[in-house]
């Protein structure tokens, strides 16, 4: 019977969920009382906790919570059988179970929950659900019509394939009997972690609808996780970026830990492994925390966070791994709380590292920080639940999934930004071996190689190429009158002018401080070469907003067709360039003239 001792009631959790509507509660109680007094065959058995009306299951409801409709008591030694509890229930201090009920089961203690349910139609099917995963062992007992005990079992100490109804959560079938109320006893074993979880009775169709919706939402998340892992691995291989490899490890372990905590792993990934089903969450979640810490450390790098934060990160990672291994070898309440505390400190350290890196003003760092922040906030809920500060509920179970779904696009965008910046820097570094830094044109060394190859092709196929040597005649004046910055701008504009004149097969290069060359691949006629030179001179005379007012580029151009066989230059690229250099020096001595042709 229910414990009416006010001291016992004061120590029990307060109720936050109403019983039933007053009319329905009164009618159920009146029906139960009438049948009891009449002593009919449908009377409530005397083997259930009295003082509570039975839960009437009819077509007017699809789901009903057992909060305020069930009684609970803890067997400190966990030795009593269901028959012992049934026989001694009048002497045991059963209390009313509230909606936010939570408690810690010390040692081998077992929680007993009793309730009665009355199915109004024996053709309907009702199921009992413990709306949380990760419970060590859950058993449902009731007497059949012949008086024998019927048992159903579930929980992490069993492989999911051996559960009474393999599912994400423990689910049990209720008796399809309409001849009167049936007494049910639920026995729960749950060591180390405080137990809190709602018990619901659902119609079969209602439970299936819930599962379809839940599986759809979880399938979307885990599908996205798998896609991101593939993308991260591909980027790591293609761009040789270890940050994507670290991200792939982190998001894989986070996804597996969430699969374990939500019951998806036991249902689909390891349904036949009892040992791993009970250990998965205690192993995968700490590994995910360590992977997240090392991932953030790898991204922000010690130079942004300082040496002491970097050393603290490595120390916490080592401590977490050591505690996890110890917890698997010798599990205890102390090891579990030590892991939870270290995990909380690790999340705090990640926050400090990101805050320190935020001040670097780099855009990708801020995207990474914004992405990880929801996971850090949601991660506080399981920590609070493990310490018994809050009860298991929707946010404590699904908060990490929601946060991880928010994190994924922000984090991958930040990584892509970081990779793009690094790839651009690497590309520029490689380009410096081929191009000139200021103008972006081909540098002198690479141009001489191309000129040599062009001379060989011209002799082999007996055609002529064209070489234009261009000098920015007023570069020294720009430097003296307007400074180095304006003089450099003039060089950049000259390089841009050459690119606009050059064809796809041509090569434009900077060969001296203020001299440029344009190699026109053959076959080229003299008229084409002269037209290109004219375009360069004319283009330089057009005003530009990047130059001082009333100033233009004054270019001197020498044009020649190559190879020049009469001088015996053959395939000597340097000799051809020196030949044009001599002509250009002579041209600069005649100010009115801008173009000089040598053999055109």
Give the per-residue SS3 of 109-148. CEEEEEEEEEECCCCCCEEEEECCCCCCEEEEEEECCCCC
**Nearby residues of 4 by Cβ (< 8 Å), 6 or more positions away:** none
At 17 the pLDDT is: 33
pLDDT digits (tens, 9 = 90+) for 328-370: 999 999 999 999 999 999 999 999 998 888 877 778 888 988 9
Q: Give the pLDDT band (50/70/90) at residue 430.
A: low
Percent of the chain, pLDDT > 70?
Answer: 90
- What pairing do the DSSP bridges indicate for beta strands 195-196 and 102-103? antiparallel
What is the DSSP code string of 229-292? HHHHHHHHHHH--HHHHHHHHHHHHHHHHHHHHTTHIIIIISTT-HHHHHHHHHHHHHHHHHHH
CA distance 541 to 535: 10
Token readout for 481 is: 């009158």
Token readout for 115 is: 């309730």
At 4 the pLDDT is: 37
Which value, in Å, is the radius of gyration of the alpha carbons in the chain?
40
Helix axes 333-358, 363-386, angle to 10 degrees: 160
At 489 the pLDDT is: 94
Residue 195: which of 112, 269, 252, 253 has the closest Cα? 112
The dihedral of CA 559, 564, 568, 570: what is its sign?
positive
What does pTM read for this prediction? 0.71
At 431 the pLDDT is: 62
Do the Cβ atoms of 524 and 465 come closer than 8 Å? Answer: yes
How far, rounded to the nearest angstrom, does the alpha carbon of residue 480 sit from its chain's CA centroid? 57
Q: Is the peptide bond before 563 cis (omega within 30 degrees of 0)?
A: yes
pLDDT digits (tens, 9 = 90+) for 443-478: 999 999 999 999 999 988 889 999 999 999 999 999
At 32 the pLDDT is: 44
Residue given tokens 């003082």 in the structure block:
51
At 10 the pLDDT is: 32
Mean pLDDT check: name the lowest of 332-336, 435-439, 527-531.
435-439
The mean pLDDT of 139-166, rounded to a whole number, is 94
Do the Cβ atoms of 300 and 365 come closer than 8 Å? Answer: yes
Token readout for 247 is: 């991200």
Q: Give the pLDDT band (50/70/90) at residue 426.
A: low
At 425 the pLDDT is: 59
Mean pLDDT check: name the lowest of 255-264, 471-480, 560-569.
560-569
Q: Give the pLDDT band (50/70/90) at residue 223.
A: very high
At 493 the pLDDT is: 95
Q: Which residues pair with 127 in a beta bridge?
A: 173, 202
Collapse the DSSP code of 171 into the 3-class scheme (helix H, G, I; strand E, B; otherwise coil) and give the result. strand
The dihedral of CA 20, 26, 31, 34: what is its sign?
positive
Q: Which residues pair with 562 in a beta bridge?
A: 465
At 31 the pLDDT is: 45
């Amino acid at each position: 019977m229910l414990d009416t001792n006010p001291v016992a009631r004061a120590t029990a959790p307060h109720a936050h969920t109403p019983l039933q509507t007053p009319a329905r509660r009164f009618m159920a109680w009146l029906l139960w009382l009438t049948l009891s007094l009449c002593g009919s065959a449908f009377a409530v058995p005397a083997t259930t906790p009295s003082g509570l009306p039975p839960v009437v299951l009819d077509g007017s409801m699809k789901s009903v919570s057992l909060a305020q409709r069930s009684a609970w008591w803890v067997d400190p030694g966990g030795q009593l059988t269901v028959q012992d509890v049934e026989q001694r229930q009048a002497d045991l201090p059963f209390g009313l179970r509230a909606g936010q009920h939570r408690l810690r089961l010390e040692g081998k203690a077992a929680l007993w929950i009793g309730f009665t349910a009355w199915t109004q139609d024996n053709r309907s099917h009702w199921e009992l659900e413990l709306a949380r995963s990760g419970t060590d062992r859950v058993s449902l007992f009731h007497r059949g019509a012949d008086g024998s005990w019927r048992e159903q079992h579930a929980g992490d100490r069993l492989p999911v394939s051996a559960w009474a109804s393999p599912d994400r959560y423990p689910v049990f079938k209720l008796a399809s009997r309409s001849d009167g109320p049936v007494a049910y006893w639920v026995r729960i074993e749950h060591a180390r972690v405080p137990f809190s979880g709602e018990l619901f009775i659902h119609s079969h169709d209602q439970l299936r609808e819930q599962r379809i919706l839940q599986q759809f939402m979880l399938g979307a998340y885990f599908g996205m996780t798998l896609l991101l892992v593939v993308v991260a691995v591909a980027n790591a291989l293609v761009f040789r970026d270890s940050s994507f490899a670290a991200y792939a490890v982190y998001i894989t372990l986070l996804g597996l830990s969430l699969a374990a905590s939500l019951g998806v792993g036991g249902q689909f990934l390891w349904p036949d492994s009892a040992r791993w089903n009970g250990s998965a969450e205690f192993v995968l979640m700490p590994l995910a925390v360590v992977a997240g810490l090392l991932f953030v450390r790898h991204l922000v790098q010690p130079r942004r966070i300082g040496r002491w934060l970097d050393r603290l990160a490595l120390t916490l990672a080592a401590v977490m791994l050591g505690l996890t291994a110890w917890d698997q070898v010798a599990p205890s309440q102390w090891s579990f709380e030590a892991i939870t505390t270290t995990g909380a400190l690790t999340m705090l350290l990640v926050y400090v590292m990101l805050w320190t890196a935020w001040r670097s003003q780099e855009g990708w760092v801020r995207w990474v920080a914004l992405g990880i922040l929801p996971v850090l906030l949601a991660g506080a809920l399981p920590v609070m639940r493990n310490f018994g500060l809050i009860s298991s509920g929707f946010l404590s179970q699904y908060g990490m999934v929601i946060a991880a779904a928010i994190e994924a696009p922000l984090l991958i965008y930040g990584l892509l930004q970081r990779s793009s910046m690094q790839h651009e820097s690497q590309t520029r570094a490689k380009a410096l071996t081929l191009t000139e830094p200021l103008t972006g044109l081909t540098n002198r060394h690479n141009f001489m190689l191309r000129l040599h190859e062009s001379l060989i092709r011209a002799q082999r196929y007996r055609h002529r190429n064209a070489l234009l040597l261009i000098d920015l005649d007023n570069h020294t004046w720009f430097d003296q009158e307007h400074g180095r910055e304006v003089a450099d701008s003039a060089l950049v504009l000259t390089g841009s002018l050459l690119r606009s004149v050059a064809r796809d097969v041509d090569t434009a290069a900077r060969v001296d401080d203020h001299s440029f060359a344009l190699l026109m691949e053959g076959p080229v006629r003299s008229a084409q070469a002269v037209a290109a030179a004219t375009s360069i001179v004319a283009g330089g005379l057009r005003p530009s907003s990047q130059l001082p007012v009333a100033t233009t580029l004054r270019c001197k151009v020498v044009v020649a067709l190559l190879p020049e066989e009469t001088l015996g230059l053959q395939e000597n690229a340097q000799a051809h360039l020196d030949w044009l250099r001599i002509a250009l020096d002579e041209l600069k001595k005649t100010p009115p003239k801008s173009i000089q042709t040598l053999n055109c």
